[in-house]
């Protein structure tokens, strides 16, 4: 390839997986400079997003494991990552964007931006310790393309939802490497343990708001990462008269905001561990906002009527939506597979490298994006060179 023009070499390399590119850093100085070039990193990321390639899954609980999603059709193999929170007992996943994930410890005090494939990471400045018995702490992570900046939103709300309870919001900027206060969310968080869902460079949260006197209604709050301000969107008109308990979660599917509703025959939050073997998940449905910000663009795209056939007792969670009318589902933190929306058939993966304990599964796109500051990166590189000498 030495005789090929640099433009052709660039195009070829930009379509390769991250692991291959990392191994090619040792080929020659010109390839090293090319692969480390910010313009090439952006080109490679755009190629992955357009071609829907470089897809990976992340397991998180007592450790972090990653796996390539498209390597084998019926089997997926996870390998443990040396993440910056190790050896903490529990790793909390906050969000992912452009190949970078945001993770924290169980308390939410230690937060890192981390590229699972390259190892690049940065610890965010510490925040005051939160009393989780009195306040809830939620985060959100995303990218502001106008300012070319990765940002983390942190919100603290009092659990009592009183007028005088704590309600604060801060934004961390990777470019500025600092936190700043922003106007807090003017609504009550519906779930105290759900971090923001990134769609269209905005973070989304289920909230409740009092209307018509004392009635509390559900809405979706959207935090624009560019303007750093909140707005409100309506939920889809799902059937609220069903005699089941429903658990609602927001997700990103195919670039769209989606609402996934699990219908249960009883309240799973009131079940004892000995009752979890009983079939409680009755059905599930997915609503998608096809045009972001337009309340009238909500549409129910599919329903799963008999989740027990997939051995699901508690919860279905969508991870990836495929162009072939399939959705990758995580089932009760133990089972993984593709669900065909037309045939309603489920193709379960054979999973390797996963413990038997329930875990959290997330999806991210592999990239070369670095979150390290330049001085730290240069000092680490010099240290490696000196060791070799």
184-231 per-position pLDDT tens digit: 988 889 888 899 999 999 999 999 876 655 567 889 999 999 999 999
The phi-psi region of residue 243 (left if phi > 0; otherwise alpha if psi is between -120 and 50; otherwise beta) is alpha
Tokens of 19: 């692991």
pLDDT at 381: 44
Torsion of CA 203, 189, 250, 303, to 10 degrees: -160
Q: Which residue has the higher pLDDT, 342 or 130?
A: 342
pLDDT value of position 375: 47
Return the C-alpha torsion angle 225, 371, 178, 64, nearest 10. 90
Determine what percent of the chain is predicted with pLDDT higher than 90. 44
Is the pLDDT at 59 greater than 80, yes or no? Answer: yes
Indicate the pLDDT class of residue 305, thresholds 50, 70 and 90.
Answer: confident
> What's residue 252's pLDDT?
94
Residue with tokens 């390769």: 16
The pLDDT of 88-93, averaged and rounded, is 84
Confidence of residue 267 (pLDDT cuts 50, 70, 90): low
Rounded to the nearest 10 degrees, the angle between the axes of helix 6-13 and helix 29-36 is: 60
Percent of the chain with pLDDT over 70: 82
**pLDDT of residue 127 exceeding 90:** no
Distance from CA of residue 143 to its chain's centroid? 13
C-alpha distance across the termini of the chain, in Å: 30
- pLDDT score of 74: 82
Write down the mean pLDDT value for the chain: 84
Residue 357's pLDDT is what? 66
Of the pLDDT bands very low, low, confident and very high (cuts 50, 70, 90), residue 379 is very low
Token representation of residue 347 = 């193709």
Tokens of 316: 């279905």
pLDDT (0 to 100) of residue 17: 92
Cα dihedral 71, 77, 80, 83 sign: positive
Q: Helices in 135-277 by DSSP H: which ranges? A: none
> To which H or E segment does residue 136 belong?
strand 135-144
Cα–Cα–Cα angle for 229, 189, 250, rounded to 5 degrees: 85
Q: How far is CA 79 from the centre of its chain?
A: 19
DSSP string of 261-311, one letter each residue: EEEESS-GGG--GGGTTS--EEEEEEEEESSTT-GGGEEEEEEES-GGGGT
Kind and range of the H or E run holding 222: strand 215-224
């Amino acid at each position: 390839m030495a005789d090929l023009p640099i433009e052709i070499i660039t195009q070829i390399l930009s379509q390769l997986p991250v692991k291959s590119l990392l191994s090619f850093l040792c080929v020659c100085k010109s390839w090293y400079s090319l692969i480390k070039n910010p313009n090439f990193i952006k080109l490679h990321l755009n190629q992955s997003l357009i071609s829907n390639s470089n897809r990976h899954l992340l397991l998180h609980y007592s450790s972090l494991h990653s796996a390539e999603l498209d390597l084998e059709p019926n089997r997926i193999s996870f390998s443990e990552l040396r993440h910056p929170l190790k050896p903490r007992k529990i790793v909390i996943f906050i969000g992912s964007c452009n190949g970078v994930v945001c993770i924290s410890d169980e308390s939410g005090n230690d937060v890192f931006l981390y590229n699972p494939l390259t190892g690049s990471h940065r610890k965010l400045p510490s925040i005051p310790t939160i009393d989780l018995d009195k306040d809830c702490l939620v985060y959100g992570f995303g990218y502001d393309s106008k300012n070319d900046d990765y940002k983390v939103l942190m919100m603290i709300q009092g659990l009592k939802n009183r007028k005088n309870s704590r309600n604060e919001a801060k934004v961390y900027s990777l470019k500025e490497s600092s936190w700043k206060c922003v106007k807090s969310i003017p609504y009550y968080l519906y779930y105290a343990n759900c971090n923001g869902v990134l769609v269209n460079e905005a973070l989304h949260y289920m909230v409740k708001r009092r209307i018509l006197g004392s009635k509390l209604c559900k809405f979706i709050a959207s935090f624009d990462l560019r303007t750093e301000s909140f707005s409100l969107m309506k939920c889809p008109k799902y059937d609220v008269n069903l005699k089941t308990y429903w658990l609602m979660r927001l997700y990103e599917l195919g670039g769209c905001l989606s609402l996934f509703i699990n219908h249960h025959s009883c309240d799973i939050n009131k079940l004892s561990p000995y009752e979890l073997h009983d079939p409680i998940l009755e059905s599930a449905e997915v609503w998608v906002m096809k045009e972001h910000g337009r309340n009238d663009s909500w549409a129910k795209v599919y329903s799963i009527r008999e989740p027990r056939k997939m051995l699901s007792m508690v919860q279905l969670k969508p991870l990836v939506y495929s162009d072939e009318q399939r959705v990758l589902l995580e089932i009760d933190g133990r089972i993984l597979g593709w669900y065909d929306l037309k045939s309603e058939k489920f193709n379960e993966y054979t999973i390797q490298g996963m413990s038997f304990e329930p875990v959290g599964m997330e999806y991210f796109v592999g990239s070369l994006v670095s979150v390290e500051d330049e001085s730290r990166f240069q000092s680490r590189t010099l240290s490696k060179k000196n060791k070799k000498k």
